[in-house]
Structure 1
């Protein structure tokens, strides 16, 4: 499980005296704990790794947005700190699908659903998320789906 990997990495970072990694891993654990608390009110997640991956993907997205803002504002040191956190977080994410693999998955789903035009984009995106959410950047996939259905 990814949670176990995160706990082991935190212990290793503490033993190695790696303050940056320890801090980023602490943030990861806090975000996961918050997500667990939110999930208590709703239905229990069926796959714990999927929940953790969702949290990690959200954290990476937030940090990439922060990096862009810091670079625009001329704050290179803050952008570097965020980039270091992204590197730590990405260690726990599964490998992302390449653009070619994403296009192949879209074509498969398009054929399975019989999708032919833009009116089917919602169905294709929903199925793509259901099948590949943990290994796919959905924001990039949106443009590829739009191109495939156009």
Structure 2
């Protein structure tokens, strides 16, 4: 079952359970996926759908931070609930040690010598960590490894 099919199935379950938050969040995700499919005139594969969901989680985390700073805990709670729903469709997050191991392997595999090779390392790592780790954090760790 593809990730899009899983989302559609979960939407039906949320409708039957009358879970408004879950239903609304899944509809937003399916809408974003459909928009990209229409714009690109192609059906998205699981990796592309995963990228959409990851982006939606990141957007909501940014919103939670802004709402919290603005004293709007009520809106932050809504965003956090949506994050929980979206994360149920993402693969399990990688631990810091797993990310560090992947980085070490990618540096060795690419033969990276310094910062000029960061693109090579990131291109090797990105498919392995997509949706499972924050790419900003991964990027910082790669920089630290290449500068060491």
Distance (whole Å) between structure 2 residues aligned to residue 2 and residue 34 of structure 1: 16
Q: TM-score, normalised by structure 1?
A: 0.91
- Please show how residues 19-98 of structure 1 align to structure 2 within 5 Å: 19-40=20-41, 48-98=45-95
Distance (whole Å) between structure 1 residues aligned to residue 120 and residue 112 of structure 2: 8
Q: Mind listing any 5+ residue stretches in structure 2 that lack a counterpart?
A: none
Note if contact 1:96-1:137 (Cα within 8 Å) is conserved in structure 2: no
Distance (whole Å) between structure 1 residues aligned to residue 143 and residue 70 of structure 2: 33
Note if contact 1:35-1:55 (Cα within 8 Å) is conserved in structure 2: no
Q: TM-score, normalised by structure 2?
A: 0.92
Greater Cα shift, 119-128 or 105-114: 119-128
Greater Cα shift, 56-65 or 126-135: 126-135
**Which position in structure 2 is the counterpart of 1:137?**
134
Note if contact 2:64-2:79 (Cα within 8 Å) is conserved in structure 1: yes
Size of the aligned set, in residue pairs, is: 146
Q: State the secondary structure of the residue aligned to 1:94.
A: coil
**Which position in structure 2 is the counterpart of 1:6?**
7
Q: List per-residue Cα deviations over 1:88-114 (Å, max 9, x = no partner).
A: 111101112211111101111111111
Q: Mind listing any 5+ residue stretches in structure 1 that lack a counterpart?
A: none
The structure-2 alpha-carbon separation of the partners of 1:51 and 1:100, relative to structure 1 and needing over 3 Å to count, comes to same
Moved over 3 A (4+): none
